[in-house]
Structure 1
Amino acid sequence: MKLNLYPIRLPLRDPFTISRGTITYQDSLVVELKHDGIAGYGEVTANDYYGHTITAMSDALNGLSEEDLAMCFDDSPESNWLHFSKRLGGDMFSLSALDMASHDWHARHSGSTLWHHWGLKWNSDLQSSFTIGIDSIEEMKRKLDADSGWDLYKIKLGTDHDLEIIRQLRQCTTATFRVDANCAWSAQQTIDYSQELQHLGVQFIEQPLPRSADAADKQRVLEESSLPIIADEDCQTEADLETCFELFDGINVKLCKCGGLTPARKMLTEAKRRGKLTMVGCMVESAVGISGAAQLAPLLDFADLDGANLISGSPTDGVKVQCGNLHMPARLGIGAELVSTALPQFLVQ
């Protein structure tokens, strides 16, 4: 019965820019739960915006007792979730990795893939988008051309020339666009932009207004936008659901923000029941995190699971997203594994 932590640094293929800044690598923490000859894996990335560092998350997880670890194997992740939420002081990022590893272990122990272990039916029609970060228009065109062949592209916006970006990129492909402003727009901008974006083949707008924006502005956008509005920064935990159902057309669930697969599955199930659009997103992360999130495919209308496609190397293997299609490996659980021979070159001391 053992908990192993692997802090890794993932180099990016290209600098990745959103409205809040630029990164050239992503630090991540892979969690391994081992018992009875079975290993379960989870992952969470460091995130300055939400204030989570590899050191802090490692310290939190290393602080778990032997009794805590025994619970990971003896009891279901669903029944343990509240206990570990309290033990980790409400740290949803650390909790998400532990919860994923626990789900993975239990599914492997039962001899099943995780989605099948949950009793879900696989969604073979679901495709992921590929993300184009903010850059010069010429560089964004180059990135689009370098990863041609996808049917869906998520375009990061938040500049003073957002519409021109979409106009120019539209000349390069007939693929469907999704746009993500990462809280950079006002209500009036969103409403005005939505009209032209609709004509430019955009499917929806993700989180145009800041989380702190007035509810009245979000309500106005919901009512007057020509495109569906999907909550991201506004949709962090289960506690945000009711507000999101009132002010958005759908939700984008991130495992690290909500606390893992346990609450994510509940959030998505409730959103479907309420007639809302459902989406799971990712961070720039390895195949472990992507493989975990991919288990939710049966509950999704949209997927943004290209995080591992944005890095140039990783000591992991698992679900592969190729031109939008999710390819599941012939493994149990979430289908991910550590590649031990590659691990040393990515470890952060």
Structure 2
Amino acid sequence: MRLEINRVEMPLRNVFRISRGEISVQETVIVQLYDNGESGLGEATQSSYYTHSADSIIDSLKQLEQELREWEFTTPEALWEVAEERLANDYFALSALDQAAHDLYGKRHRTSVFERKGMNWHNVPQSSITVSIASIPQMIEELQGFAGWPIIKVKLGTSDDLAIIQALRDSSDAVIRVDANCAWTVEETIRNSIEFASLGVEFIEQPLPADAPVASKRVVFEESALPIIADESCQREDDVRECDGLFHGINIKLCKCGGLTPAFRMLDEANSRGLKTMVGCMIESEVAISAAAQLAPRLDYVDLDGAALLARQPAQGVKVQHGKISRPSGFGCGVTLNTTLV
């Protein structure tokens, strides 16, 4: 096997703000895994919260390049087990490699990832699109630009959170979900949940910090008027078990858990515990979105708007338009690279 690594800068359509910062350009790492004349694509974007930069992801992958040349490719799962031992400190890099391995395997065996897993593309949930933090008039303007999207996810974590949701509800009849990105206290969460429930909000994502005491998470779980979905609190496979009894559902992101291989196992574990399941994303190109979309037929909720927030694409794959997720075309993850942009 041979690995090709590309760093790509992706400008956003608009500045994207959450409770802990903002960006206007997203740096990402796109990899191509080659074997016997075939190739697969994978991606990992940098994230300051998870302390992964484009440089650190590239450095991790480069440490594996020589070993990859000596390994025989059989299945993505077999490659993941070996690579995880070398990349245990960089699950973003592991995710990019695992996505590429699934894409390569599917192309070799002329099947999509979701079909290989025994799924069909029926009754796939629609995706939300994100309104990021700004002034209320700016957020209303952004919301109006998303006309036709049936589900809106609103980033919160300000002193005006209730006023924001009231204003957005007055401006739209779309389903509203909120994401506090760890910004609230227990008291704020319970108070906001009651107010938001009266405004038709569907659920709250990650209100408390990931390292909040278990007792605090349990109080929120038991007293919230709305379901609570874990994001930052559910990163790896073992976290699913820890979320049981503290959250009503989990948000799986490939970069957090290390790719599709563990993501499918997390779905199995969550289903066995009666937890709702969701797939989320960073601001990513259609490489990573196409990989994450392979989970969609098994999910309760989908948040795969990352590529829709970009000004231009380095790849072509699964499209998310007005909430509808296009069926992956071709084999593997159904994505191809725009070489002129890399």
Q: Calculate the TM-score normalised by the size of structure 2.
A: 0.97
Letter of the 1:133 partner, please give it.
S
SS of the aligned residue for 1:189 comes to helix
1:295-341 per-residue CA deviation (whole Å, 9 max, x = no partner) reads 00122100000000001012211000000000134211101110113
Distance 2:63 2:158 in 1: 43
Distance 1:100 1:167 in 2: 40
Distance 2:91 2:293 in 1: 19
Distance 2:202 2:304 in 1: 17
Which residue number in structure 2 is paired with residue 15 of structure 1?
Answer: 15
Contact 2:178 2:204 in 1 (8 A): yes
Q: CA RMSD in A?
A: 1.2
Which residue number in structure 2 is paired with residue 203 of structure 1?
Answer: 202
Which residue number in structure 1 is paired with residue 179 of structure 2?
Answer: 180
Which residue number in structure 2 is paired with residue 30 of structure 1?
Answer: 30
SS of the aligned residue for 2:64 comes to coil
Which residue number in structure 2 is paired with residue 39 of structure 1?
Answer: 39
User: Which stretches in structure 1 are left out of the alignment for 5+ residues?
Assistant: 344-349
User: Displacement of 1:208 after TM fit?
Assistant: 0.2
Which residue number in structure 2 is paired with residue 335 of structure 1?
Answer: 334
Which residue number in structure 1 is paired with residue 52 of structure 2?
Answer: 52
Letter of the 2:40 partner, please give it.
G
Which residue number in structure 1 is paired with residue 153 of structure 2?
Answer: 154
User: Displacement of 1:66 after TM fit?
Assistant: 4.2
1:119-154 per-residue CA deviation (whole Å, 9 max, x = no partner) reads 223243310000000000000000111111011000
Q: How many residues align?
A: 342
Distance 2:99 2:197 in 1: 37
Runs of 4+ that moved beyond 3 A = none
Distance 2:305 2:321 in 1: 9
Which residue number in structure 1 is paired with residue 121 of structure 2?
Answer: 122
Letter of the 1:38 partner, please give it.
E
Contact 1:287 1:336 in 2 (8 A): yes
1:113 aligns with 2:112: yes
Letter of the 2:188 partner, please give it.
Q
Identity of aligned pairs, percent?
49
Distance 1:125 1:299 in 2: 8
1:256-280 per-residue CA deviation (whole Å, 9 max, x = no partner) reads 1111111111001211121110001
User: Displacement of 1:233 after TM fit?
Assistant: 0.5
Contact 1:269 1:299 in 2 (8 A): no
244-253 or 116-125: bigger deviation = 116-125
SS of the aligned residue for 1:64 comes to helix
Contact 2:124 2:297 in 1 (8 A): no
1:227-268 per-residue CA deviation (whole Å, 9 max, x = no partner) reads 000000000101211111121000001111111111111001
